[in-house]
């Protein structure tokens, strides 16, 4: 599953960020990503280069320092950022995470909705439950920190699950660590159960 996702052609910013995060968080994925980088590095060495002016180099260093400072300030404001992959921290360097809280579950949009695609951070508190639901279209969920379980199994850091409208599940955060994950979805979430209609109005 991991290799299939990493080898899927990137067709949007959301899918690019998701694949890069997937390549970062698991040792096996990092090895695959490292091999890909080595191949890319080989071809880069074949490209003819031009010397940079001193002024341009100084501007690059200055911009790098600004971005590093912005990232540090954001991490002080929201400690959760320090637990995220470098790809996400870089993307969020000048932005504050705007969480929406639903009792013991928090959701934050990472990218504006594009072609019915969404990229969201999901923070499930220890022992908290996301009400039973399915999805319109597929959802790919990458565990960034902690773990969770549902009717289909238990999922640790670095694992990725793909759910469709055929899967009706109730994710539960690990009792001690909870779970932080990255959700890449096509279409809306569809809550079922006793309060499904009300939850769908709130969530969508």
Give the pLDDT confidence score for residue 189 in this predicted structure.
76
pLDDT of 203 > 90? The answer is no
CATH superfamily of 98-203: Jelly Rolls (2.60.120.10)
Buried-exposed string 79-96: b where 16+ CB fall within 10 A, e elsewhere: ebbeebbebbeebbbeee
pLDDT confidence of residue 180: 94
Portion of the chain with pLDDT greater than 70, in percent: 63
Residue 7 banded pLDDT, cuts 50, 70, 90: very low
Q: How many residues does the chain have?
A: 204
Nearest 5°: CA angle at 145, between 189 and 169? 30
Predicted confidence (pLDDT) per residue in 139-159, tens digit? 899 999 999 999 989 999 989
28 or 186: which leads in pLDDT = 186
pTM: 0.71
Q: Residues 6 or more apart from 108 whose CB is under 8 A from it?
A: 97, 98, 99, 100, 120, 121, 123
**How much is the pLDDT for 144?**
93
């Amino acid at each position: 599953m991991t290799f299939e996702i990493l080898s899927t052609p990137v067709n949007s910013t959301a899918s690019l960020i998701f694949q890069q995060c997937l390549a970062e968080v698991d040792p096996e994925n990092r090895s695959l990503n490292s091999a890909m980088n080595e191949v890319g590095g080989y071809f880069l060495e074949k490209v003819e280069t031009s010397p940079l002016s001193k002024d341009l180099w100084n501007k690059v260093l200055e911009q790098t320092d600004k971005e590093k400072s912005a990232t540090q300030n954001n991490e002080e404001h929201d400690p959760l950022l320090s637990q995220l992959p470098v790809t996400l921290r870089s993307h969020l360097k000048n932005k504050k995470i705007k969480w929406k809280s639903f009792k013991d579950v928090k959701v934050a949009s990472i990218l504006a909705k594009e072609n019915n695609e969404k990229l969201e951070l999901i923070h499930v508190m220890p022992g908290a439950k996301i009400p039973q639901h399915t999805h319109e279209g597929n959802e790919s969920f990458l565990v960034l920190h902690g773990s969770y379980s549902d009717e289909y199994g238990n999922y640790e850091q670095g694992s990725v699950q793909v759910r469709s409208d055929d899967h009706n599940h109730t994710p539960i955060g690990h009792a001690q660590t909870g779970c932080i994950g990255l959700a890449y979805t096509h279409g809306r979430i569809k809550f079922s159960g006793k309060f499904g209609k009300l939850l769908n109005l709130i969530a969508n």
